[in-house]
Homo-oligomer: A and B are copies of this chain.
Amino acid sequence: MSILVVGSVALDTIHTPFGKVRDILGGSATYFSLSARFFSPVNLVAVVGEDFPEKNIVFLKKHNINLEGLVQKKDKTFRWIGEYDRCFSDAKTIATYLNVFAKFAPKIPQKYQNSSYVFLANIDPLIQEKVLKQVKHPKLIACDTMNFWIQNKRKQLLKLLKKIDVFLINESEAKELTLESNLLKAGKKIIKLGPKIVVIKRGEHGVLLFASNNIFIVPAFILESVIDPTGAGDTFAGGFMGYLAKTNILNIDSLRQAVVYGSIMASFTVEDFGLRRLGTIKLSNISKRLKQFKKYTSF
């Protein structure tokens, strides 16, 4: 099954202890797409400015991302400038220039409106809801968010949570949303807010999944070199949704596998700046790492 993803396509400037890159291709929908494409066809809906480099379009097309929903407008592309310290804890945002993204009103192309699998990447929950209204018979709707929306659009976010199936959120956001410092309690509280499935992303500490009465805990794939964690969460979501859309089975076993695939995909992203690693790996790299991961974690 193909997946519809609506989110940002951006130009990122990133400083880490290992170097600096300027105006490289980024954005939540981009990372998601580059990850999900290994499993299922990906239909991307986003907006970029007239300054968006042609080479990025070529890059996305080369990686089989369907760009019928990528609109180019007269303005500048969304830009994010961020920084990480040696601990790679949460990114420190230096600046955000919404530019063309400020007026983003996604219009879902007709042929995408029957999408069964939908991923609403981190954008204003009001826009996420507007996307939902354009999708006809979704089988699985997943959404991501961020602390900014939890703080500033809480009501709209809570309304949206009643309409989605999978909610992906990171650890600090889960605690902020539920005002609960214990993660097990936080996950159970979010389930009560509406989503049938809650995925709490814990960065280098792995992922927690809640699905009705089931819990799945998985550590992160351990790496000798982490260069840039930007996009890891969206890459995870891409592997997770991509695997589910591919198998088109939604039971606890496939959810566990989906979490593992998501974790594996994210482990590639953080090994280099931006999409350098995710844009060059092959299916064989994924299978090899999956095998290694099983060896690392089974008892």
Contacts and interface: CB of A to CB of B under 8 A. Distances in A.
Instruction: State how many copies of this chain the complex holds.
Output: 2
A223 B184 contact: yes
Contacts of A226: 182
A298 B259 CA distance: 12
Contact of A86 (B181, B208, B215, B223): B181
A70 to B, nearest CB: 35
A225 interface: yes
Nearest to A206: B219
A251 interface: no
A281 interface: no
A231 B279 CA distance: 46
With a 10 A CB-CB cut-off, give which of A202, A218, A296, A299 has the most chain B CB atoms. A299
B215 A222 contact: yes
B297 A216 contact: yes
A218 B299 contact: yes
B222 A219 contact: no
Contact of A181 (B87, B202, B219, B253): B87
B299 A260 contact: yes
A96 interface: no
Interface in A157-187: 181-185
A247 interface: no
A222 B184 contact: yes
Interface in A90-147: none
Nearest to A183: B222
Nearest to A88: B181
Interface string A221-244: 011111000000000000000000
A257 interface: yes
A205 interface: yes
Contacts of A208: 222
Contact of A224 (B182, B206, B257, B299): B182
Contacts of A225: 182
Contacts of A257: 299
Interface in A171-215: 181-185, 202, 205-206, 208, 215
Given A206-B219, A222-B215, A256 B299 contact: yes
A218 B215 contact: no
Interface of A: 86-87, 181-185, 202, 205-206, 208, 215-219, 222-226, 253, 256-257, 259-260, 296-299
Q: Which 6 A-B pairs have the closest CB atoms?
A: A256-B299, A205-B205, A217-B219, A184-B224, A219-B219, A217-B296
